[in-house]
Each structure stands twice: as structure tokens, then as C-alpha cells.
Structure 1
């Protein structure tokens, strides 16, 4: 795992009912694919998807939002399946977000 990367299993060690879905930057996944994933998996606008993609690139990770645990796990699975089908190494982590509902 790259220095500073977040393991996909971090959320599995927590009982938090809400999880933050976070995309992890890599030097191989095209920006267009990241934007495609954000638009199609999360239903965000092109502008919002582009902003998250740039954040992911600049900060090495980009937040897709905070969701109930089951929804976050389903999003991670969709992202991993899309990336694998297109042979991109895009990774997604789930981080505990506490007990507060998403804003």
C-alpha cells in the first residue's frame, strides 16, 4: 500500500452507522473515468464530479459523501466493479463518520 493510503477495511473495524466514501488517488486512472464514476454512481453533476476529481488528485483523496453503512458499502462495490471492468486501479475507502446523519 502506498505511503499515506487508506486501507479499504478501515470502516470494517468500526461500528459507525454512517461512513464516508473516499476515492483514493493513483497515477493511472484517467480523470475522465473518475468523473464518469462520480456522475453515474453518485448521480452528481458534471461540475461537482469535476470538483471531487480535482480534490482527489490534489489531496490524494476525495470525499464522495457520508452515507448509511449499507449504502456506503454498496457504493464501494459499484466503484470497484466499474474500475475492475475497465482495468483501472481506482480504489475506494470507507471511513467512520460518527453517529450524525449526513448533512
Structure 2
């Protein structure tokens, strides 16, 4: 039978698991505007956020009717990347679509 692994130099009662913290998570949101087409929003949700057609349509309707919709919840680096990708894709297609992130 083997002994549980202990951090070198730590007392035997301290396990590595005691020091692990979950990374903070962030909601990525799309914001409504008067120019971006619903079709483009659905395409972004499908291609960037990997949503099904039905889920993408549901989120697009939330954006349209409520002013914003949650695309997903991610660690900070992934959320930042998704926001950047959405802005780059929107710009390249001539849409003013805004995407933000906030702590979940």
C-alpha cells in the first residue's frame, strides 16, 4: 500500500488538493444593436460558441428582445478570446455587433 503524495517540505497533514482554487469564470454576452442581422448573430453563436441551431436561435431572440444574451461561461482567457473573435468577425463583415464579458 502506498502513502498519499505530500508536497515536499509540507507537514504530512497538508495535501496538494488543499491549495487548488477554481479559476474565476466569466459570462460572455452579445449586445443588441439596430444593424447586425439576426442571421449573422446565429452564425456567430454556431461558429464561435459551438451552439446548435435551436440554441443559437434562442440566444439570438434573447439578444433581440431583451437587449443582451449569454453565449457561455468560460475562464477569463477563453472569454477574452471569444470576445475578440466576435469583434473581429463582426468588423470584417461590416457589423457593429458588440460582445462583452462579466464575472459570473
- With structure 1 as the length reference, what TM-score do the two structures score? 0.77
Per-residue CA deviation, residues 2-38 of structure 1 (Å, 9 max, x unaligned), is: xxxxxxxxxxxxxx82110000000100000000000
Q: Match of 1:91?
A: 98
Residue 70 (structure 1) aligned to one of 68, 74, 77: 77
Structure 1 unaligned regions, length at least 5: 1-15, 98-103
Give RMSD over aligned pairs. Answer: 1.0
The aligned length equals: 82
Unaligned runs of 5+ in 2: 1-22
Higher gyration radius (CA): 2
Indicate whether 1:40 and 2:47 are aligned: yes
Q: Provide the C-alpha distance between the structure 1 equivalents of 2:61 and 2:102, rounded to a whole number of angstroms.
A: 20
* TM-score (norm. length: structure 2): 0.77
1:41-79: per-residue Cα shift (whole Å, max 9, x none)? 011101000000000001000000110000000100110
